[in-house]
Amino acid sequence: MRRRIAAVLLVAAATAWPAQAQQDLGSVSIEELLKIQITSAGRREQPVSDTAAAVYVITHEDILRSGVSSLPELLRLVPGVQVARVNASKWAVSVRGFNGVYSNKLLVLVDGRSVYTRMFSGVLWDDEDLVLDDVERIEVIRGSGAVNWGANAVNGVINIVTRKAADTRGAVVRLGTGSFEPGLLTARYGTHAGGADYRVYMKWTAQADSTLPDGANAGDYWHRATGGFRADWARGLTLTGNASRGTANALWIGGVPDLDDGARSVMTSGSLMARYTHAAGHGSLQLQGSFEAVDRDETIGRYGDGIMDAEAQYHARLSGRHDLVAGAGVRVDRSRFDGRGAYVISPAANRHTLIDAFGQDDISLAGGRAQASIGARLEHDIDTGAHLQPTARLLWHLSARQQVWAAASRALRTPALIDQRIDADLPAAGGPAGIPALVTLIGNPRLLSEAAVDLEAGYRLAAAPRAAVSIALFDTRYRHLRTMETGAPLLVAGPDGPWLSLPTHFDNLASARTRGGEVDGCWTPAPWWRLDGSVSLFHISPSVAAASDDVNAARSDANAPARQWQLHSATTLGRASFDARLMHVGALRNLGVPAYDRLDLRVERPIGARFTAALIGQNLLTPFHREFVGTGELLTATRIPRSVRAQITWRH
């Protein structure tokens, strides 16, 4: 269910970057060639891709040069991805629109393990922490064709691949402190013993308070500790595990009964994953199993989740023309939410099983100049039944440096737990004659899956000698989008007097068409200087059935800016490296969030043989800016401050 390892390998070779800071080897003697060291981050040099999809790869070097210390912040680098920091501990991340703290059309994998939460079909970004130095690359595939990779990959997949334990030998300790991130400590040790490579790591981060719109301290400071390991055996077995605990001031506000502002929430999670790969003849078999446990004690309630996942897949090359991948998986999710006050999941305990099978054939055509891919995923969800999600793709190599591609796919988002089982009284604008009003939100067990049909096309050029450009266009039609429908108001007698209940339920009465595109490119004017940048455009035309009274759905802008762009300059002067990144994020019209520009600067230089010092400035253009709004009036959005951080790294 997870995804196809074969696809990952393809994508790994797919980045549209040319060689950067490459030496010209044409005049080097063969004796000298024998002495040259090969870069471990060898994937960036792959100038073109065999993938008929909008792919962007954040390489290991990009990660090291980004200066950020958390995953969602890193995803800002990717064109077509919307990242908005809501407050110190919460992010909204989506691909090609429909953004929210509970974004539900995006699949995120860490070493092939899906980290989506059944509660809202989204990702708990405050739960996912990694030592970013140990991440080999992050592959982001935009569009619905990513559906073969797993459930809810409607708008895209973010695939995080950590480094092999053999690539992280030795000790690394990093200490950092800054104005918005007062504490950062990471430590990792890797070694080889008993026929296997191991690494163990831990990371601790502390975030300072941001400020409320009126300038008051938001009190949303948080900290989190994560520890974990990875072990790789030569015979194809990999074992990973991690545990994390974080404490945040969650800032649930808005007059929800019995709740105080800024109450603490404690988030604990852990996971264990085993993967076995066996190559035989023309094929390879991969088996993977994982278990994840989440416990979140938050002001609105306590949420526990246990996820078991098993998958088998077989990859075979047949007759030199066919490259076939097929597999099957099962995912069992047992969750429990004990609401406090006004927020309840009914029933509290839920068990959900998802079974799936997938297959894809890549067929080489025209003597290798073209490649057609046909694939489908058959998914059986205990609530919504069986669904087929097909994709068809075509890639044409115009030359060794140029490709065009096109794709058509269909993808589904199965309803989340909150869509089906929520029972909550949420504050609403006051009723007539000063009577308090509450929206009584009731889940809909018969809610349909949201469906997307996605048409995409793209072009890539690796222009000689040191430049590349990639263009992707999309036209996606969504049906059965979730709407909130309100029934006739009810006057309810409560202990504190009467209140007005506005009964509201979820339905599937909206549809939308999104169109847009992303252009990204890079240029290496000199061996010590690289420039890269991207522009992302997004347009949505929503439409709502006449039977719906959801006014928000009708004017939705998918919480995505119509335009965003960024420019990054990376220079290496001697042993020092200097990075400058300028970003523009357009306004979020419906949410009333104005456009903002962001400037990040970073300088790093080794001190002696073992130490490296870095100085990082983020959001330097303005003292504060806002990036999002609170969601459902339960979560407060704050202002993100300008920040400066210093860090020192010791390697041995």
Partner 1 sequence: MRYRLLHAAATLLGAAAALVAGRTVPAAAQAVSAASLKAAFVANFAKFTEWPVERAGEPRAFQFCVVGDRAVAVALEETLHAHPSAAPMSVTFLKSTTALPRCDLLYVSGVDVRETARLVDSLKGTAVFTVSDTTGFAERGGVAQLVEVDGRMRFSINAAAAQRNHLALNARLLTLATLVKDTDGSR
Q: Which is nearer to partner 1, 115 or 161 (CB)?
A: 161
Q: Which is nearer to partner 1, 299 or 371 (CB)?
A: 371
Q: Which is nearer to partner 1, 166 or 355 (CB)?
A: 166
CB of residue 487 to partner 1, shortest distance in Å: 49
CB of residue 617 to partner 1, shortest distance in Å: 5
Structure tokens at 453: 């049909």
Q: Which is nearer to partner 1, 108 or 395 (CB)?
A: 395
CB of residue 315 to partner 1, shortest distance in Å: 13
Sign of CA dihedral 126, 263, 203, 236: negative
Pick from 174, 186, 114, 202: nearest CA to 150 = 114
CB of residue 122 to partner 1, shortest distance in Å: 35
Sign of CA dihedral 634, 637, 638, 640: positive
Pick from 518, 567, 566: nearest CA to 538 = 518
Q: Which is nearer to partner 1, 282 or 351 (CB)?
A: 282
Write the single-letter amino acid at 559: N
Q: Which is nearer to partner 1, 19 or 81 (CB)?
A: 19
Question: What b/e readout covers 531-564, taking b as 16+ CB neighbours within 10 angstroms?
Answer: ebbbbbbbebebebeeebebeebeebbbbbbbbb
CA distances from 600 to 11, 131, 352, 519, 579 (A): 28, 21, 43, 21, 8
CB of residue 58 to partner 1, shortest distance in Å: 17
CA distance 506 to 531: 47
Determine how many CB atoms are found less than 10 A away from the CB of residue 464: 9
If 0-12 CB within 10 Å is exposed, 13-18 middle and 19+ buried, where does residue 142 land?
Answer: buried
Query: What is the distance, to the nearest Å, from the Cα of residue 19 to the centroid of all Cα atoms in its chain?
Result: 27
CB 214 within 8 A of CB 79: no
Residues 6+ apart with CB under 8 A from 32: none
Q: Which is nearer to partner 1, 276 or 578 (CB)?
A: 578
CA distance 313 to 295: 31
CB of residue 208 to partner 1, shortest distance in Å: 16
CB 16 within 8 A of CB 468: yes
CB of residue 431 to partner 1, shortest distance in Å: 42
Determine how many CB atoms are found less than 10 A away from the CB of residue 109: 21
Query: What is the distance, to the nearest Å, from the Cα of residue 215 to the centroid of all Cα atoms in its chain?
Result: 31
CB 107 within 8 A of CB 113: no
CB of residue 361 to partner 1, shortest distance in Å: 14
CB of residue 367 to partner 1, shortest distance in Å: 5
H or E stretch at 283: strand 283-298
Supply angle C-alpha 369, 374, 376, rounded to 5: 155
CB of residue 111 to partner 1, shortest distance in Å: 23
Pick from 103, 72, 105, 74: nearest CA to 87 = 72
CA distance 427 to 435: 12
CB of residue 325 to partner 1, shortest distance in Å: 16
Residues near partner 1 (CB under 8 A) are 13, 19, 21-28, 30-31, 33-40, 42, 44-48, 50, 281-282, 319-321, 364, 367-368, 371, 397, 400-401, 462, 464-465, 572-576, 578, 601, 603-605, 613, 615, 617, 620-623, 642, 644
Q: Which is nearer to partner 1, 491 or 576 (CB)?
A: 576
How far the first Cα of the chain sits from its last, in Å, is 39
3-class SS of residue 88: coil
Q: Which is nearer to partner 1, 128 or 579 (CB)?
A: 579
Q: Which is nearer to partner 1, 432 or 608 (CB)?
A: 608
Pick from 617, 620, 619, 606: nearest CA to 648 = 606
CB of residue 375 to partner 1, shortest distance in Å: 18
- Residue 630 is given by DSSP the state -
- Residue 77 is given by DSSP the state G
CB of residue 22 to partner 1, shortest distance in Å: 6
Q: Which is nearer to partner 1, 384 or 643 (CB)?
A: 643
CB 106 within 8 A of CB 97: no
Q: Which is nearer to partner 1, 346 or 402 (CB)?
A: 402
Q: Which is nearer to partner 1, 63 or 635 (CB)?
A: 63
CB 220 within 8 A of CB 87: yes
CB of residue 210 to partner 1, shortest distance in Å: 17
CB of residue 381 to partner 1, shortest distance in Å: 37
Q: Which is nearer to partner 1, 203 or 581 (CB)?
A: 581
Backbone φ/ψ region at 241: left (φ over 0), alpha (ψ -120 to 50), beta: beta
Length of the chain counted residue by residue: 652
Q: Which is nearer to partner 1, 234 or 433 (CB)?
A: 234
